[in-house]
Amino acid sequence: MMDYIMPISEVRSKLSEIVKKISRMRKHLIITKNGKPEAVLLSPEELETLEIKADQDLLRSILRAQEDIQKGRLYTHEDIFKDV
């Protein structure tokens, strides 16, 4: 994935446009100050992906769930709560 890099002065003047672009394209923007990376702007979807990748327990749980779906190990809501 290609990074977008912009100086903070340009980001200030185009913030609304940049936010729409980042959200729509699901990319991120590296914001620089005096030529050095200072901050990152990213879409909510990209943040969620990064958080999932950082949480190994959650990632394993998602992988197990996908395997259960592929193998047909599915239960209805009624099956789960029939004795409650």
Residue keyed to tokens 């990632």: 59
**Residue 26 CA: distances (Å) to CA of 6, 48, 58, 61, 83:** 17, 11, 22, 24, 43
Which residues, 6 or more positions from 25, have their beta carbon under 8 angstroms from its beta carbon?
Answer: 43
- pLDDT per residue rounded down to tens, the chain (84 residues): 456 899 999 999 999 999 998 888 878 899 999 999 999 999 988 898 888 888 888 888 989 999 999 999 888 888 888 887
Q: Where exactly are the structural domains of the chain?
A: 1-42, 43-84
Check if CATH label 3.40.1620.10 holds for domain 1-42: yes
pTM above 0.85, yes or no: no
